[in-house]
Structure 1
């Protein structure tokens, strides 16, 4: 969210008095982001024993925080306490200067999953977490410090960051916990040579290489402080720069005056940032011992847990720093899941509440903050996240404690009758104004201290984003289930509710009807709408409390955190963006396909000797095997002749009709699935189509695309390329296609430790030609194309466990020759056979295989009583770690990509993922800078989790349409 959005967002009231009945407020603010990095760099790497999740920074942070809480006890300690975090998005300073902090490297990968855990740790220790998009933590610290000071209170900034020293003065001090030292006016003088009121002027001159603040070239701290002391302030100095005797200094100040003024704006902290919470909310209270204990146990910080005990820090010896026990703000989350007994409570849909008044909404928002973890769901009038209208949303805070907030319901036709809620003159049931309700709910749904749990939350994120609400932080029960048991069963909410809760949820059809009688959810009466919607949130929260602890228990937390949890917001943004198409080109193609289909239909009728329906498998079977008596006909279980593509391909060598039917089917599919369907799916206002991605569709981690499916457009024939040419960039933009080159073969070489393939990849050789040379003893130079083609078929076929029969069909050779090829292949590359044999043994033992990144892919077919199904399971097990690792790598790349593009100051955005390919839309002027960045992110996506022994290579280019870019 931009800083403008942040400023416009309604914030809770902050004008309440900052004093209590007694002493004035003493507000302590922890510079939490600095704490995190100090903890990370101060301690050696540490991973959780149960699953390998990096937790070193979390442990260091907890130790530092606990020491601070313990040491704060005493007369001068805080009455109010908060931890202030940097938000991940760019700030208003980037609008002033696009290169601000542009050269900062991304945080270490093993630190990234710890950021959210540190926030959970803060809440578990009873400290309120505060952050704000568009502003840095320092700005929030400045804002709250000014509010506390101006109201007659005191502010203590727990930090040693020099940038915060400009705030020191009457009522504001800094406290360095590492040195146990209070920093006041004298400390500022020692650091900058000037008082706090002149720090900004000095910083404007010296700049800051860490934040890429330019300053005045060649002017250091000593010179800067001398100049400011001599001339009084920066404006006077720049106005009188011509009087300076030293030529170089004089010329620098004159030449770089505008740059210096810009630097001042970059280093000056704002005291009027929108305060996300009133200071009163930060009042200290005792932490919840159960929540704190559960968090420390989950992190496996058992030594710290023994020291902390119930979280009530004893007073240290010596001068006291805090007057009362360290406490948790009312709104901080309870990290510990409730007891399982609570999840087994019978569902009572009559207990759910329909929220129709502002007071009720505010009461539920307060209760949600108190709970800290909520079930969340949206109800809409269609399945398209990019166009669905929001009907309402539901929240759950515990078993049977759920509500529904209707926003745009309308009464059905008056003839339907039976309405049990009074309405307004427009025929709408009583409900809170949607704009007002969303403004109230926005703070809750964006609050970093409240975890939002959804089922397939990607959809809800996208819907809410279109209403200006960026739901965060999030968890997804569908993805947790997918990580735990991918390949074993479905992960839809109803399936999971039946499996784990023994509950059959209210069906959608039971409240909307079905068929021609089905009505929009916005026309469902509020009572059944509340029961249905609130139950979804209730079920979701119960599932989370049951399933989330299993991630740690089964060593899969890292898989969830690094491969799944970050995907919903990335995909939601891609779905909202969509990709532009050229409808006129598609219409022309559709007409051409229609004409060609008519010609093929006429030809087929002539070949058959009579008219028939080319779309009827029964009629085709009767003609081919009954009337024409072609060989090889087999009947299916239903008694009809089999006429699928493989049957027609075999027959095509003996008769022209099967080939004609295949050509007709291809055109029919392209016309129906793409040229016609894409035009129907297009938003007429933008000419963009918006696909929907399924995260838990394939057990290997591959994404699926639907409505429309943009992952199955043929790319190896002219017709498919013509369709891709209809995917175009917006005016002034280009499409960038970035595709991993032979990633599965490269992963096979690494996983199977195939030295010959490794050498070829490292040398940048044509891998198929190199394989052919190794197999057949033919030099790469001047190699016949057919020889290379055969090696290519074997290379890719081996990855999928191809048989001699399958290879023979693919190459048009006899089965004996194909078997000889495979035998030779294994002789030349024995490591592949070793890998396949070892994988078969492993999957027979445990019924699952794992990728390089720990994703567990269950293969239930391996336990089948059918020999054919077990053989299929073995082939699937051989391919799954390879395809799964490729899917994991591109997921890692996708989660890093938006941040990398933002950090580079680029407006390029990711639009599509097609298996090993990512498609972007970039302003024409950015393409040259975007392509190398995209390549770098994709080619290094496996690191540092896995150091591949084979380089990943990404082919990327920009063009006006998708075909030319590919």
Structure 2
């Protein structure tokens, strides 16, 4: 028993909606929707586990909203009037969620006509009055008013999404005032979600500043009369009553009746029977297995922590009507074998051939797959049936003692037939890396499944409460297997004491390497079953899985760069930045470090006296891109020079210098690394080096592209989809005028200018082009105004006119948002899902950001799917045409770059254009043609 009582109050209402969006729709054996119930149950389970580790509560209760009505509706009939009805499939889950809470034998508190926040406030104050500490499990800003300490009894909050404690310091950082003043800030800023009016035009920063300066709401409102004439003054005076009403609405009721006594919330363990019965009734089989494998309760040392049980289920795998997952023992590293003889290796090969499913992982000397040496290979054919084959252990010193291990060539000769056999599926995690490493040893691997890619195709963007966050092996093991993997640092050390993997003792190396293969095998069993159940099979099997070896081959080929040209550009950029520094110092009237944001801010706003400088939490002025562009627009020449200086220094460090370092000494080429899971919408991303952010339209960007060249006798060919996202928008939104324009080969921006402005001039076409693309990204009136340099009202008029001329676009946007809010995800024409868990966030910035992304995701994602389909078909199409010497090297946004003999250009152009223009078919037939522009030249720039 702890020395002091500590009450945890769980904001269950917040948990429900987070749980609803964390998993796909599920049903129990009776056909009742239970997706939110399952998510809620696992979240409550995880909370119990985490609190036990942290020496958690002595008392705990879950507080829920009983109804949507409260005393606030009597005060203000528009309170929460804008809130949409809960999703249809969530409604029948509300009573089941209450059953789930009681199955844990926890108090489930809900009172009619009383909001959960008020009940939490009342219990928190009552407990604090008795000298208890209280932790509110929530991140709700309204509840932050309660944070603080009285007579040694502390109230804090626990944000389980961020695994962060919230106390006075965190509240002050968020609101700029102490917790007891948060209500005053909320009253000024209002809340669109709860329809609390506040004062129009007063945001969080202004509200915090007003309360910090004047002490409270009444004083801030009183002070308005003495303010200088401004919009803020007018609003404070005109809407005073709204603010005062809002202060009443945001004030928590702290004297509600307490239906459950505090002492009745004492944690005495979770009896297994009611929980087991609940789990069995609703088909939550993996949770039931975990419960049956152990005993105890939250707050006890052997509670429901799955990591402490003998079996590990899939805490986040779909349950209910979904096929039960196979029984798996917990990971046991002591069962792994270190294979040090050819006989033992041949035995493993025979077992793998019989198993038909083999997980494979490589251990190497470096992260660069095109430079790393192979150190060992691990295999797994079942849970805890894994081995490690050391191939280059013992260090690089020729005099170092080498452990017993099979010779590299001998081992690879034995493995080649197995790894190439069509009869055995090879499961990899981030398999592209392993394919690249093994290819350099003339080892082919096929057919390949990739657990990282499967995870991405199921959970891209989901990222809420750890579900569907990252797709790394360690994250997935923790999320789906409730297992913590050994880390590289644990086996190799850190800092000066770090050693290469080849010097790790074989017993430790075996545990680490074989575990990776074992975990990959297990993840495949869990994730692959979800694909057909959640509609992910088509995008995985037809697009992403076959793309893995294609992208691997592109990385292996790399592209040649002209080192001398890059070195010359680096020198030119260095000279030019030096000249710019001199001009900047002259304009500033003194020398300073241009690259220092602090010194630059002091020069701009203190020395030179430019207006509008804003200091951040660090106490220094912001000098980001938007600030400098604003000053430039106001005629500040020094801002122009700094912007130019920043661009040159960035291009020099990121490209002209870095590309020289990236040249592989063995191939003489640059080998970028593509990620199939890097962009939420499904686009490939490029790193080490990043070749996708080289400026396209600037003279400097073109100079850098000039350094990408073909080998002697060859040329580069660039094939680029023309305005593919606009074409897809015309099809997906069914916009007749745009479809006609594309079908007739018209200038789409000129057509839009005609529809919008009645004439086509250089200016109206440029505006139309900006509007065409901006609308697809859900741009706001202020965003469009900034891009076009007009007033927000004028920008809104343009948006309204655009929607009048092209009503299909507005309909598409509204229907897309409605669908995403209902389902939690968007979908491309090919079935790729992108999840938006924060589409209903109370945080306006988060919500609006999700809405903008959701509008564009189906279009950008479909574009990504199409170019991927083209890439998959390209190599076979070229081979069938006798064009084996034509090599696909790069994919950059909507463009593919090839290297080929000069004599093959005409024939290859026909094949490439046909593959790209028909890539959507037969899965999808578009109402618009896919235009492909092709150019060739000795350099990448010349090919445009």
Structure-2-length-normalised TM-score:
0.64
Matched, 1:924 2:909: no
Determine the structure 1 residue equivalent to 2:345: 361
Q: Does 1:516 align with 2:501?
A: no
Which residue of the partner structure matches residue 833 of structure 2? 856
> Match for 1:584 among 564, 567, 592?
564
Residue 603 of structure 1: how far off its partner (Å): 1.2
Residue 833 (1) aligns with residue 810 (2): yes
Rounded Cα–Cα distance in structure 2 between residues aligned with 1:447 and 1:816: 65
**Residue correspondence of structure 1 range 371-770 to structure 2 within 5 A:** 371-411=355-395, 427-488=401-462, 489-653=469-633, 654-770=635-751
- Which whole-Å CA distance do the structure 2 matches of 1:954 and 1:756 have between them? 21
Matched residue, 2:794: 817
What CA distance in whole angstroms lies between the structure 2 residues aligned with 1:902 and 1:509? 45
Mapped contact 1:411–1:429 kept (Cα < 8 A): no
> What does 1:104-503 correspond to in 2, within 5 Å?
340-343=325-328, 345-411=329-395, 427-488=401-462, 489-503=469-483
Question: CA–CA distance in 2 between the matches of 1:338 and 1:554?
Answer: 12
SS of aligned partner of 2:900: strand
**Alpha carbons of 1:709 and 1:358: their partners in 2 closer, same or farther (altered >3 Å)?**
same
Q: Structure 1, residues 662-703: CA drift from partner, whole Å, max 9, x if none?
A: 101100110000000000000234321000000001110011
Structure-1 separation of matches of 2:727 and 2:478 = 42
Structure 1 residue 823 displacement after superposition: 1.2
Q: The residue matched to 1:861 in structure 2 has which SS?
A: coil
* Contact in 2 for aligned 1:412/1:524 (Cα 8 Å): no
Check conservation: 1:342, 1:399, Cα contact below 8 A: no
SS of residue in 2 equivalent to 1:361 = helix
Deviations 1:220-268 (A, max 9, x none): xxxxxxxxxxxxxxxxxxxxxxxxxxxxxxxxxxxxxxxxxxxxxxxxx
| Aligned equivalents of 1:614, 1:834: Cα separation in 2 | 48
Which 4+ residue blocks in structure 1 deviate beyond 6 angstroms? Answer: none
> What is the DSSP-based 3-state SS (H/G/I as helix, E as strand, rest coil) of the residue aligned with 1:404?
strand
Question: Structure 2 CA distance, aligned partners of 1:863 and 1:349?
Answer: 43
Q: Distance in 2 between matches of 1:514 and 1:617?
A: 32
| Cα contact 1:768–1:791 (8 A) shared by 2 | yes
Q: Tell me the distance in 1 between the aligned counterparts of 2:563 and 2:514.
A: 41
The Cα shift of 1:555 comes to 2.0
Give the one of 889, 900, 919 matched to 2:877.
900
SS at match of 1:475: strand
Q: Residue 933 of structure 2 corresponds to which residue in structure 1?
A: 955
Does residue 935 of structure 1 match 2:913? yes
Alignment partner, residue 250 of structure 2: none
- The 1-side partners of 2:511 and 2:785 are apart by 59
**1:515 CA drift (Å):** 2.6
Deviations 1:563-585 (A, max 9, x none): 11111100110001000000000
RMSD of the alignment, in Å?
1.6
**Which string of whole-angstrom CA distances, capped at 9 and with x for unpartnered residues, describes residues 37-93 of structure 1?**
xxxxxxxxxxxxx9xxxxxxxxxxxxxxxxxxxxxxxxxxxxxxxxxxxxxxxxxxx
CA distance in 2 between partners of 1:513 and 1:614 (Å)? 39
Corresponding residue of 1:845: 822
Alpha-carbon distance in 1 for matches of 2:659, 2:598: 30
CA 1:878 to 1:776, structure 2 compared with 1: closer, same or farther past 3 Å?
A: same
Report the count of equivalent residues: 616
Pick from 893, 902, 921 the counterpart of residue 915 of structure 1: 893
Contact 1:614 1:661 survives alignment (8 Å): yes
In the TM superposition, what is the alpha-carbon distance from 1:425 to its structure 2 partner? 6.3
Aligned-residue offset at 1:339: 7.6
Which is greater in Rg? Answer: 1
Cα deviation for residue 878 of structure 1 reads 0.5
The alpha-carbon deviation at position 412 of structure 1 amounts to 7.6
Q: Name the CA distance, whole Å, in 1 between partners of 2:497 and 2:632.
A: 47
How much has 1:386 moved relative to structure 2? 1.5
Q: Map Cα deviations across residues 357-379 of structure 1 (whole Å, 9 max, x no partner).
A: 01110011011111110111011
Could you say what secondary structure the match of 1:962 adopts? Answer: coil
Instruction: Name the counterpart of 2:274.
Output: none
Separation in structure 2 between the aligned mates of residue 513 and residue 773 of structure 1, nearest angstrom: 66
Separation in 2, partners of 1:847, 1:339:
25
Structure 2 unaligned spans of 5+: 1-25, 27-321, 463-468
1:29-68 to 2 correspondence within 5 Å?
Answer: none
For normalisation by structure 1, the TM-score amounts to 0.63
Give the conservation status (yes or no) of the 8 Å contact 1:744–1:886: yes
Deviation string 1:876-925 (CA, Å, 9 cap, x unpaired) is 11100000000000010011111111111111010000010000000111
Residue 804 of structure 1 pairs with residue 781 of structure 2: yes
1:356 and 1:432 in contact (8 A); partners too: yes
Q: Find out whether 1:886 has 2:863 as its counterpart.
A: yes
1:411–1:525 contact (8 Å) kept in structure 2: no
1:820 Cα offset (Å): 1.4
Change (3 A) 1:685 1:341: closer
Residue aligning to 2:242: none
Q: Secondary structure at the match of 1:487?
A: coil
Shift in Å, 1:516 = 3.3
Q: For residue 289 of structure 2, what is the aligned residue in structure 1?
A: none
Name the CA distance, whole Å, in 1 between partners of 2:493 and 2:589: 48
Distance (whole Å) between structure 1 residues aligned to residue 323 and residue 461 of structure 2: 28
Question: Is contact 1:461–1:568 with CA below 8 Å preserved after alignment?
Answer: no
Instruction: Note the residue ranges of structure 1 that are not aligned, 5 or more in a row.
Output: 1-49, 51-336, 414-423
Question: Which of 848, 870, 873 does residue 850 from structure 2 map onto?
Answer: 873
Give the Cα–Cα distance (whole angstroms) in 2 for the partners of residues 639 and 844 of structure 1.
39
CA offset digits 1:179-229 (Å, max 9, x no partner):
xxxxxxxxxxxxxxxxxxxxxxxxxxxxxxxxxxxxxxxxxxxxxxxxxxx
TM superposition shift of 1:431 = 0.8
CA distance in 2, matches of 1:388, 1:892: 30
How many Å apart are 1:875 and its aligned residue?
A: 1.1
Q: Deviations over 1:774-805 (max 9, x none)?
A: 11111xxxx32111100000001111111221
Distance, in Å, in 2 between the alignment partners of 1:591 and 1:450 is: 54
Q: Shift of residue 448 of structure 1? A: 0.5
Is residue 338–residue 545 contact of structure 1 (8 Å, CA) maintained in 2? no
Equivalent residue, structure 2, for 1:301: none
What does residue 965 of structure 1 align with? 943
Given that residues 582 and 687 in structure 1 are in contact (C-alpha distance below 8 angstroms), is that contact kept between their aligned partners in structure 2?
no
Residue 426 of structure 1 and its aligned partner are, at CA, apart by 5.6
Instruction: Please state how far the C-alpha of 1:867 moved relative to its aligned partner.
Output: 2.2
